[in-house]
Structure 1
Amino acid sequence: MTTTDPLRIQEQHVLAIRTLNDVVNERRYDDMDELFAPGFVDNNPAWSVRDVAELKKLLAEAHAAMAFTSHHDLIYPAGDDKVVIHITFTGRFVKDFLGQRATGEPITWTSIEVFRFEHGRIAERWVQADTAGLLRQLGVPLP
């Protein structure tokens, strides 16, 4: 059943983001398909991901290397079609990644992300993450 109640729609969007967090943390990447709209666009300056399939591949590689989980510290509806979240990622650098040898050391970084919904599914995402801080922890040389 489709609703037109703006508050109910916002609740559904927040629930979708909570579900996405669970799916990603549990490494159930194929379950991401039902959460994303066809033509999903990822706006992340750290990488170029063209669709959900590439996002799933990148997440799987990152999970294998950094054994991380994410926790949403804040989740806010932003109008009728957006949700803004603040995420903290924690893990351990356990497998070589980005040309760097695994150290076994703990890692942590944060991100602020905005998700835009179309017809109840994630159509677009904007990411502003502490990528430089993460890369420093991995030992990637920065300019």
Structure 2
Amino acid sequence: MSETELETNEEIARAYPERVANERALDLLDELLTEDFVEHGPLGDENGIPEARAGMEQLLGAFPDFTATVEDLVASGDTVAMRVTLRGTHEGPFAGIEATGNTIEVQNMVFSRIEGGRIAERWVVPDTLSMLQQLGVVDFEFQTP
């Protein structure tokens, strides 16, 4: 794969957090994702563009000031790996948790597989424990010996 192709894949993968999430450009999902797109995440899989849109709408509804900052990015072949920091204030229901008013800052790992200039699959692995702690719904501390 050429350097130009890798750079294009990086731009495509970055567009999801930077344009869709940060700019609220949900209509971009139609151009950005394959018809049979699948996102694998901690709350289960989202299949297809309508489910991806609904998932993003739910996230933005729960965290209206949500932002995603791409901290690191590595591309190899058809896969782009990103470390992304997620921030927002919990002002609406999310994953069965009523609004807490708490702010979160959570690390998130995202692997995107690019196919034909579109994202075919994403594996999203947020630091769910940290998020639940920051929301105040889990009280957990690691004990050192």
TM over 0.5: yes
TM-score by length of 2: 0.84
Query: CA shift at 1:116, angstroms?
Result: 0.6
- Counterpart of 2:31 (choices 31, 34, 38) is 34
Unaligned segments of structure 2, at least 5 residues? 141-145
Once the 2 structures are TM-superposed, how far is the Cα of residue 11 of structure 1 from its aligned partner? 0.6
Normalised TM-score (structure 1):
0.85
How many residues were matched structurally? 138
Are residue 18 (structure 1) and residue 14 (structure 2) matched? yes
Would the aligned equivalents of 1:95 and 1:102 in 2 still touch at CA under 8 Å? yes
Among 93, 96, 99, the alignment partner of 2:96 is: 99
Quick one: percent identity of the two aligned structures? 32
Out of 5, 21, 34, the position equivalent to 1:9 is: 5
TM-aligned CA deviation for residue 91 of structure 1:
0.7
Q: Is the 8 A contact 1:75 1:84 kept in 2?
A: yes
Between 111-120 and 133-142, report the one with greater CA deviation. Answer: 133-142
Deviates more, 1:113-122 or 1:124-133: 124-133
Query: Offset of 1:36 from its aligned partner?
Result: 0.8
How far off is 1:10 after superposition? 0.4
Structure 2 Cα separation of the partners of residues 64 and 58 of structure 1: 10
Q: Distance in 1 between matches of 2:114 and 2:13?
A: 10
Counting only pairs closer than 5 Å after superposition, residues 1-143 of structure 1 correspond to structure 2 as: 6-20=2-16, 21-67=18-64, 68-78=66-76, 80-140=77-137
Supply the RMSD in Å over aligned alpha carbons.
2.0
Q: Secondary structure at the match of 2:46?
A: coil
Unaligned runs of 5+ in 1: none
Residue 67 of structure 2 aligns with an amino acid whose one-letter code is: T
